[in-house]
Amino acid sequence: MFNLLDRRPTNVKNDVLSGITVALALVPEAVAFAFIAGVEPMVGLYAAFMMGLLTSLFGGRPGMISGATGATAVVMVSLVAVHGVQYLFAAVILAGLIQILAGVFKLGKFIRIVPHPVMLGFVNGLAIVIFLSQVGLFKEEISEGVWQWIQGEDLYLMGSLIAITMLIMHFLPKLTTAIPAGLVAIVSVSLAVFLFDLDARTVIDFVADKLPADQASSASLQGELPSFNIPSVPFTLETLWVILPYSAIIAAIGLIESLLTLTLIDELTNTRGRGNKECVGQGIANTVNGFFGGMGGCAMIGQSMININNGGRGRLSGITAAVVLLGFILFAAGLIEIIPLAALIGVMFMVVLGTFEWSSFRIMRKVPLSDAFVIILVSGVTVAFDLAIAVIIGVIVSALIFAWQHAQHIYADTYTDEQGWKVYDLRGPLFFSSVSNFKDLFSPESDPNDVVIEFRRSRICDHSGIEALDGLAEKYQSHGKTLHIRHLSPECRVLLEKAGELCEVNVIEDPNYRVATDKLA
């Protein structure tokens, strides 16, 4: 329906122009998330600049945009409310150090355990969250603390400007790809509003609405260069215990969102980012944020999609976005203040259309019911709570479903060998979920004196499997019978050796199978 993805290779022009587009889209997001966290708008803008610049320089995913995000902002609310913004800066520094350690110890590889249905749910949930965040901009404050949906001519004007923005972004790439469609749309709509003196809500109107009534008239996005400051907090263990929980959550949420965004962009661009390097890059950016008065953050899927869709592929696109944003703050705040909100909303609506996996509706009836459930579950939890909780729940549910399904796959073929021993030729993995079915396969009361469990086509996966095997051996022993196990894999034998006295099972040697050993554990 919409051809939003530009697969052109990296080049300087694309990166620079796309970066300018992203810088314009970063402003309202950064301001909004600053208000969510309970800090000044400039703290959010500084975070967008520093996160964007440093992750582009040191991160592992060229073309991905980072900045202040809602996922991390909601964690900061209570810390700022109770202890103040200086504790926030300290928490962001510690979160950055945790992320750097995650990269150093190569924990980024664990993003591979996220199943594809969870990825689909993550993408769809974020698309819905982005859409809902833009719908919220259709409200205006009629009195202090009282908001209502815009109506009448204001609504028609905003709707018309959004539609024009989306039409430009949809049709312009069919005529030319020389200039990013998003940039053309924002500039065109802004010029139209200025030339025709249309009464459209602008970025500065949005900022003013968020401020107390006595400060609204002086609202401005003009700022200075962020300056170095060590957070003014006591350097004590008590302070550490205060900020550590927040830092750990910020670090975890930031890495989950960043690594999942990295994976998404990898799939869209047919390239491969470096997860561990991205962990380090995110950590460096957050650490610097804490020392320079920023609220930190992580990767932003909406702005990243804007960048990718407009041809931004290299590190220069993220660097340009950050530098242009800082330039606006320092020298041209007036230009971004007069940008109509409708133009930015239109750009984000196109991002929603391009981000949402519309194919999910088509494949729902073709994939297993459990996968369809996980997709819907993760999407719903992402919208209702946040990304980190959604992904964790999705991975846990997927793992439980996998365990339950594979628990049914354990069975055994039985026969009597030439020695008169009964052999259970086991099939399927022995682990916590299959233990119950495993025990039901055996009949210690009626079996002969010697019983062999053949592990040629099976393996012991965890401590639950070891305990089940040991318990089964004790049952046979209580009946005066001997249980032997044969053809254990090297990994399984290592598990038994580590178990030591916890597992007393007779492992017999098969001369035709070299990995087996003759050892009584």
Please report the pLDDT score of residue 207 as a whole number: 84
238 pLDDT above the threshold of 90:
yes
Contact of 317 with 304, CB cutoff 8 Å: no
Residues 275 and 281: their CA atoms lie apart, in Å, by: 10
- 145 phi and psi, to 5 degrees? 85, 0
Of 312, 300, 254, which Cα lies nearest the Cα of 65?
A: 300
Q: Are strands 66-67 and 298-299 parallel, antiparallel or unpaired?
A: antiparallel
- Of 17-21, 212-216, 304-308, where does mean pLDDT reach its minimum? 212-216
- What 8-state DSSP symbol labels residue 513? B
Strands (E), 273-365: 298-299
Residues 272 and 269: their CA atoms lie apart, in Å, by: 8
The pLDDT tens digits of the residues spanning 458-512 come to 888 888 888 888 888 889 889 998 888 888 777 676 666 665 544 445 565 544 4
The pLDDT tens digits of the residues spanning 98-146 come to 999 999 999 888 877 888 898 888 888 878 888 888 888 888 777 766 7
Residues 260 and 341: their CA atoms lie apart, in Å, by: 28
19 pLDDT above the threshold of 90:
yes
Enter the tokens of residue 52.
């964007």
List the 506-507 sheet strands across, edge first.
411-416, 422-430, 450-460, 482-486, 506-507, 519-520
pLDDT band (50, 70, 90) for residue 6: very low
What's the predicted TM-score (pTM) here? 0.74
Contact of 463 with 433, CB cutoff 8 Å: no
Helices 70-83, 237-269: crossing angle, 10 deg rounding? 170
Domains of the chain: 12-358 (no CATH), 411-520 (3.30.750.24)
The pLDDT tens digits of the residues spanning 431-457 come to 888 899 999 999 999 999 999 999 888
Place of tokens 């060590």: 230
The pLDDT tens digits of the residues spanning 146-176 come to 778 888 999 999 999 999 999 999 999 888 8
Q: Which of 102-111, 277-286, 369-378 has the highest mean pLDDT?
A: 277-286
Helix (H) or strand (E) holding 446: none
- What 8-state DSSP symbol labels residue 364? T
